[in-house]
């Protein structure tokens, strides 16, 4: 069993966008918008302080998602700290399709790992992805939060998660347009049908494969590669304004999509883009928030 680290430890974890159009529950991209967490082992008790996004809604006890993730990692590492202090500086908006829950899970696991002297040796990044998937239910957000960049992920027939990083063109950037009102992932998933037509599934598979090539350096294929057949249109009742904006942007040649379960809209921009980032930012509806974000290529970090 490893010893605990004396003094505070800080980690930083990126936002993520999953699905990316046709890559339902399988494709994820890390974005340069980061939550920062600080943890310290105490002699007793639990102290939780939260600033920023979601601060008014999240609990300050053992129910806090970061604390729950820390407990999972400590159990795996065979450590039971007598007390904990946690401070969260949240930037990733909650319930907007930018991986806030994945950031909390990955951040908590990484924080606990860093608080154990040999934690990094005994719990590597692939193990971190597996633990985070167990908590989140699927790996499409947690994998890029751990590894950074663009990640293809899923689960094997035996239930084990896999996560394979894939190339991202160095000049690829994004614009995310974030509505003021949240949409719960559970509600968005509840709108999806149990089955889809075979032709739509085949079309979606082809676009997902094309998107992998497009992100790696074929920006001329991003509009075609982000065409989705499986989930976005079914979710229109939960986020009509988001789908209207996606369709308007795409009609102007912008590779736009619903980020994760929504309602945030993500557009790919950068060198070779049909529409510059400034023009996409200018399309941000009143009351929404706009961010021009690079792809995060680092994943979770001890800072």
Angle subtended by helix axes 100-114 and 125-136, to nearest 10: 140
Instruction: Report d(CA 116, CA 94) in Å as an integer.
Output: 29
Query: Residue 166 pairs with which residues in a beta bridge?
Result: 150
Residue 184 pLDDT greater than 90, yes or no: no
Q: Which residue has the higher pLDDT, 272 or 248?
A: 248
> Cα dist. 104→22, 58, 108, 172 in Å?
26, 11, 6, 26
**pTM of the predicted structure, to 2 decimals:** 0.95
> What's residue 8's pLDDT?
95
Tokens of 204: 């979606």
Which uninterrupted H or E stretch holds 137?
none
pLDDT digits (tens, 9 = 90+) for 22-43: 999 999 999 999 999 999 999 9
Residue 15 pLDDT greater than 70, yes or no: yes
pLDDT digits (tens, 9 = 90+) for 244-263: 999 999 999 999 999 999 99
Instruction: Report d(CA 180, CA 102) in Å as an integer.
Output: 20
Tokens of 268: 């790919």
- Work out the widest C-alpha separation in the chain, in whole angstroms: 60
> What's residue 2's pLDDT?
65
Angle subtended by helix axes 125-136 and 65-77, to nearest 10: 130
Kindly give, in sequence order, each residue whose CB lies less than 8 Å from that of residue 259, ignoring residues fewer than 6 positions away. Answer: 17, 18, 19, 96, 97, 98, 176, 265, 266
Angle subtended by helix axes 65-77 and 100-114, to nearest 10: 40
Coil, strand, or helix at residue 72? helix
Instruction: Report d(CA 131, CA 71) in Å as an integer.
Output: 11
Long-range contact set of residues 22-25: C-beta below 8 Å, sequence gap at least 24: 22/204, 22/205, 22/207, 22/208, 22/211, 22/225, 22/226, 22/227, 22/228, 22/229, 22/230, 23/140, 23/152, 23/208, 23/211, 24/204, 24/228, 24/230, 24/231, 25/138, 25/140, 25/154
Average pLDDT score over residue span 152-156? 96
């Amino acid at each position: 069993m490893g010893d605990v680290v004396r003094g505070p430890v800080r980690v930083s974890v990126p936002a993520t966008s999953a699905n990316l159009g046709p890559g339902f529950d399988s494709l994820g991209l890390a974005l340069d918008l980061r939550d920062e967490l600080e943890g310290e082992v105490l002699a007793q008790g639990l102290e939780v302080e939260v600033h920023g996004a979601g601060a008014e809604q999240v609990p300050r006890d053992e129910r806090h998602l970061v604390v729950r993730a820390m407990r999972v990692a400590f159990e795996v590492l065979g450590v039971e700290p007598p007390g904990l202090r946690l401070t969260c500086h949240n930037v990733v908006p909650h319930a907007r399709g930018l991986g806030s829950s994945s950031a909390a899970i990955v951040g908590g696991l990484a924080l606990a790992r860093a608080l154990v002297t040999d934690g990094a040796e005994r719990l590597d990044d692939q193990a971190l992805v597996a633990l985070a998937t167990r908590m989140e239910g699927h790996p499409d957000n947690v994998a890029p939060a751990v590894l950074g960049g663009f990640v293809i992920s899923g689960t094997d027939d035996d239930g084990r998660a896999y996560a394979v990083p894939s190339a991202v063109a160095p000049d690829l950037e994004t614009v995310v347009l974030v509505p003021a009102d949240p949409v719960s992932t559970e509600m968005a998933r509840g709108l999806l049908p149990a089955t889809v037509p075979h032709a739509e599934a085949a079309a979606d598979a082809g676009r997902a494969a094309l998107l992998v090539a497009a992100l790696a350096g074929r920006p001329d294929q991003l509009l075609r590669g982000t065409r989705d057949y499986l989930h976005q249109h079914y979710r229109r009742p939960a986020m009509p304004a988001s789908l209207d904006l996606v369709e308007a942007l795409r009609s102007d040649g912008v590779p736009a999509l619903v980020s994760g379960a929504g309602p945030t809209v993500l557009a790919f921009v950068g060198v070779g883009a049909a529409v510059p980032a400034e023009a996409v930012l200018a399309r941000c509806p009143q009351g929404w928030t706009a961010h021009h974000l690079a792809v995060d290529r680092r994943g979770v970090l001890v800072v």
